Structure 1
Amino acid sequence: MKIRIIGISDLKPDFKSKELALIQAGKYFAGGNRHRELVSEFLPKESHWHDIVVPLSGLYDAIQQSKSDWIVFASGDPLFYGIGITLQREFPGAEIEILPDFNSLQLLAHRFKLPYGEFQTVTLTGRSFDRFDQALISGTERMGILTDRKNTPKSIAERMLQYGYSNYKMYYGECLGGEREKTCELSLEDAVLFDFNHPNCFYLEKIDDAIPKKGIPECDFEPLNGRPKMITKMPIRLATLSLMELQSKKVFWDVGACTGSVSIEARLNHPHLKVKSFEIRDESKGIIERNSKKFQAPGIDIFIGDYLQADKTEIEKPDAVFLGGYGGKMDEVLDDIHQQLLNGGIIAFNSVSEKSKNGFTNWCIRNHYKKTQEMLVSVDEFNPITILVAQKGERK
C-alpha cells in the first residue's frame, strides 16, 4: 500500500507536474472540507473522497478496507504536527511519500521576516499546557504557538497575563496563504481584546530579560489566616527539593500543601515536573492559586479534601512525594502514598521533633524503604529541622 500526502496552502493549488500526474492516476482521496473545495477540479471523475474528521478511526478503516493506494491532502507540511505523523504511526507497513508545502508558522515568519529557526515551537492544538508552561517558566525568549478552537490566541494571552507573563509581544496570523489572510503585531493586552478568526497561529518574543523568581522568602507568600509560621522556611524548602534530586523525576505530589510554597518552588526550579498539590483546608485552594499567580507558577493541579478519602485513580502516579502534613495520621498517609508511589520513587519529610523523625524512620524500615538523605538544618532562631528522604525499593 502506498499513501502519498500532499501539502497545500489555503489558496487554489498550483500543483507541480509530478503531483498532477499522481492525482490523475489516483482513485482514493482524503482531506478536510476546505481541501476538497480547493482540489475538486483536479480529481478524476471516478474518484472516491473521504472527509477527514475526528475521530480519525473512520479514515483508518476506509484505508484498511480499500486495500489500495491513497492520496491524502493536508495543510502545509504534513509532518509538522500533522496527519503525516499520524498515518506513519497507524500504518507502519505502508510506503508513505510526503510532498510538503510551507507550514503555517513558516508562512507567518515570512510575513514578518522572522528567523523562525530560533523560535521553539509549542503546539496547543489538542494538547495540554505542559510544554508551554515549561517554556514560560524556563524563560524561553522566542516561541511559535499552534492553536485550536479551545486554546485560542485570546485565551492563551489571558492565561499568560494571569500568571504575570506580560513581557512578550505577539506576531499574529490567520488564514495564512489564503484570500482572508490577516497578520499583525500585538501586545498581550491588545491580544485579549482582538477579534480572532480560525485557523490561526502566532509567535511570541520577549521584550525584556525578566524570569520568575526562585528562592522565595516565606514572608512573601500569602499565609493561612493567623498562621504565618506554617509556611516552610525558604532555606529548608530549597534544601529539601535539592536533596530530592527532582531533575530526574516526572510527577511530584505535595501532600499537605498548605499555602503551596513547596509546590510552587518545585514548579519554578523544575518546570518539567507535573506538580499535584493535596490539602484538606478549603481556604487553601484560593491561597495556592493566588500564590501560584503571584510567583508565576502555572500548571499546578490542586486537590482539596481529606487526602485519605481522595479518589486518586485518574491522577498521574508520582515518582517523588513531599509529605508536608499528615493530620496526626502519619502511618495511614504514608501507607496510601506507598500504594501510589512508583517503584524507585522517593518520599521526603521535614521532621520538627524526635517523635516525628522516629515515626517516619520506623515506617520506612517496616516498608523496606532505603534512607538516602538525612540532614539537620537550623534557620535563625527557629528549632532545627531534620530533612529525611527515603526511596521505595524496585520491583523484584
Structure 2
Amino acid sequence: MKFTVIGIDDNQEQHFQQDVLAIIANTSVFSGGKRHYEIVKKYLPSEHAWVEIKVPLLQVFEAYKAYDEIVVFASGDPLFNGFGNTILRECPDAEVKVFPYFNSLQLLAHRMLLPYQDMHTVTLTGRPWAKFDEALIKGCGLIGVLTDRKLHTPQTIAERMLTYGFDNYMMTVGELLGNNEREKYTTLSLEDVGKHTFQFPNNIILQKTHSLPRPFGIPKTDFHLLNGRAKMITKMPIRLLSLHLLDLRNRSVFWDVGFCTGSVSIEAKMQFPHLQIFSFEIREEGTALMRDNSRKFHTPGIESFIGDFLAQDVEELPRPEAVFIGGYGGKLKEFMIKINNYLLPNGVIVFNSVSEKSLETFKSSVQELGMELAENIRIRIDDFNEITALKAIKTR
C-alpha cells in the first residue's frame, strides 16, 4: 500500500506545487476530513473515491485496505501530531511520502514574528495534562500548545496555570490560522484570557516573563502542616536522601504511601516533573494539605487518594517502579506485602525507620518477600532521634 500525504491550510484556494498536482491528477482514491474535502474537491479528478477520516479510525483503515494507492489530505504538517503519524503507526509496512505545509504553531510564530527554534511543543488535543504540566514545572521559556474544543481551551489552560501559580507567562492565542479572511491572533495576560472567547481551531504560544523558584530541598516550615505539627513531615535532609535512594530520574511511576503533607510527592514532582505520582493518605486532612501545598509549590499533576491504603483498589493504577512509605498505621508488613504485589521487577521501596521495631519489621518483610536490602543508612538531624533510611529492591 502506498500513501501520499499532502498538508494543506484552511484557504479555499490552494497553491499546490506541480509535482503535487501531477500526483493528484494520476490518482483516483483520496481521503481526509469533511472540511478537507470541501477545500480540495475542485482539484480532484471527476472520477474519484473519497474515504472520509472520522472516528472510529479503525473503520477508516479497514476501508483503506481495498486500495493500493491513496492520497490523504491533512492539516498543516501531517507529521506534527497529525494524521501522518497515525498512518505510520497503523500501517508500518506501507510506502509513505509526505508533502508538508506549515503546522499551526509555526504559523502563529510567523504571525508574531517570533523566532521559535527553542519552542517546546505540547499537544493537549484529547490528551491529559501531564506533558503540559512537565513543561511548566521545568520552566520552559517558550511553550507552543495545541488545544481542543472542550477540556483544553485557552480559558481552561489559563485557569490551570493560575491555580498552580504560573502567572509568569503571557499567552498568545491564534484563531483559524491559515484562513486568510478570518485568522487572527491576540496576546493577553493569563488573567484576561478568561474574559475572551476564541474561535476554533485555535492554538497558543506561552512566553515566560520571569522565572519561579524551583529549590532543591524545601524547608519544612514552608509547607502547610498537619494541625501545625512540624514533626509530622519528612525533614528536608531526610526527604532529599529518600529521593536519592528512590532514584527517580529514569523511572516513570512513583507511589507515595502515607503522604501526610505531601512533601515527598511535591519534592519529587518538582525535581522529576516527568513522573506520574500517585499518593495515598488515610487522614481526610490530606486532601486540603496536598491541594494547598501542590499549588503553593507549583506542582500540578499529583493524584491523591484518601482512605486506608490496604482497602484502596489500585488495580487500575499504573504499577509503580518506586514506592516511598511515609506512614503505615502499625501495619508495615501488610503494606509491604500489598506494595510488593504491584511493584514492577527491579522496583524499589524506600522507608525511613524511627524505631527498632519498625526497622526489624521492614528487614524481616524484605527477607520474606525475597527482596534485596540495598541500603541501610543511619542519620541524625539536629536533636531529633536517629533515623535509618532503608532501600529494598524487588529482584524477582
Query: TM (normalized to structure 1)?
Result: 0.96
The superposition leaves residues 185-208 of structure 1 with CA deviations (integer Å, 9 ceiling, x where unpaired) of: 111111222211211111111111
* DSSP 3-state at the match of 1:6: strand
Supply the distance in 2 between the matched residues of 1:20 and 1:246 (Cα, whole angstroms).
52
RMSD (Å) for aligned C-alpha atoms: 1.3
SS, match of residue 297 in structure 1: coil
Report the secondary structure of 1:246's partner residue. Answer: coil
Offset from partner CA, 1:61-101 (integer Å, 9 cap, x none): 1101x233111110011011100111011112221111111
Matching of residue 341 in structure 1 with residue 355 in structure 2: no
Q: After alignment, is 125-134 or 208-217 more displaced? A: 208-217
Q: Return the letter of the residue paired with 2:142.
A: R
State the match for 1:316 in structure 2.
318
Amino acid at match of 2:158: A
1:59 aligns with 2:60: yes
**Aligned equivalent of 2:74:** 74
Instruction: State the shift of 1:253 in Å.
Output: 0.4
Q: How many Å separate the matches in 1 of 2:190 and 2:345?
A: 44
AA at the equivalent of 1:16:
Q
Residue number in structure 1 paired with 2:370: 368
Deviation at 1:182, TM superposition (A): 1.0
Structure 1 counterpart of 2:105: 105
Work out the CA distance in 1 between the residues paired with 2:245 and 2:331. Answer: 25
Moved more, 352-361 or 282-291: 282-291
1:171-190 correspondence to structure 2 within 5 Å: 171-178=172-179, 179-190=181-192
| Contact residue 216 and residue 271 of structure 2 kept, 8 A | yes
Aligned 8 A contact 1:357 1:386 in 2? yes
Shift of 1:45: 2.1
1:197 pairs with one of 192, 196, 199: 199
2:211 to 187, 209, 213: 209
SS in 2 for 1:344: coil
CA contact (8 A) 1:323 1:348 kept: yes
Equivalent residues of 1:169, 1:207 under 8 A apart: yes
Q: Which moved more, 1:211-220 or 1:236-245?
A: 211-220
Contact 2:142–2:206 (CA under 8 A) maintained in structure 1: yes
Secondary structure of 1:116's counterpart equals: coil
Q: 2:279 aligns to what?
A: 277
Q: Where do residues 10-49 of structure 1 align in structure 2 (5 Å cutoff)?
A: 10-12=10-12, 13-49=14-50
* Aligned-partner SS, 1:26: coil
Q: Are the aligned partners of 2:246 and 2:323 in contact in 1 as well (CA < 8 Å)?
A: no
| Aligned-partner Cα distance in 1 for 2:105–2:276 | 28
Q: How far off is 1:271 after superposition?
A: 1.2
- Code of the residue aligned with 1:21 in structure 2: it is A
Amino acid across the alignment from 2:223: F
Superposition pairs of residues 286-301 of structure 1, within 5 angstroms: 286-301=288-303
Give the structure 2 partner of residue 250 of structure 1.
252
Q: In structure 1, what is the equivalent of residue 167 of structure 2?
A: 166
The 2-side partners of 1:170 and 1:367 are apart by 52
Structure 1 position 226, deviation (Å): 5.5
CA deviation after TM superposition for structure 1 residue 379, in Å: 1.5
SS of alignment partner, residue 118 of structure 1 = coil
**Structure 1, residues 11-36: CA drift from partner, whole Å, max 9, x if none?**
02122222222222222111112111
CA–CA separation in structure 2 for the residues paired with 1:221 and 1:55: 47
Question: Are the counterparts in 1 of residues 242 and 350 from structure 2 also a CA contact under 8 Å?
Answer: yes
CA drift of 1:248 comes to 2.2
Per-residue CA deviations over 1:328-380 (Å, capped at 9, x if unaligned) read: 11111110000010010000001011111111011111222212212112122
Aligned to 1:95: 95
Identity score, percent? 51
Between the aligned partners of 1:247 and 1:260, the Cα distance in structure 2 is: 19
TM-score (norm 2): 0.96
Amino acid corresponding to residue 171 of structure 1 in structure 2: T
2:310 and 2:335 in contact (8 A); partners too: yes
- Runs (5+) with no aligned partner, structure 2: none
Distance in structure 2 (CA, Å) of the matches to 1:267 and 1:93 = 39
Partners of 2:93 and 2:342 lie apart in 1 by 39
AA of the residue aligned to 1:56: L
Q: Quote the residue 2:132 is aligned against.
A: 132
Question: What SS class does the counterpart of residue 247 from structure 1 fall into?
Answer: coil
Residue 242 (structure 2) pairs with residue 240 (structure 1): yes
Stretch of structure 1 that moved more, 191-200 or 80-89: 191-200
Q: By how many angstroms is 1:174 displaced?
A: 1.0
In 2, Cα distance between equivalents of 1:331 and 1:206 = 48
Partner deviation per Cα, 1:109-146 (whole Å, 9 max, x = no partner) = 11111111111111111222222111111121111111
* Contact map agreement 2:3 2:95 (CA 8 A) in 1: yes
Deviates more, 1:154-163 or 1:202-211: 202-211
* Counterpart secondary structure, 2:238: helix
Q: How many residues align?
A: 393
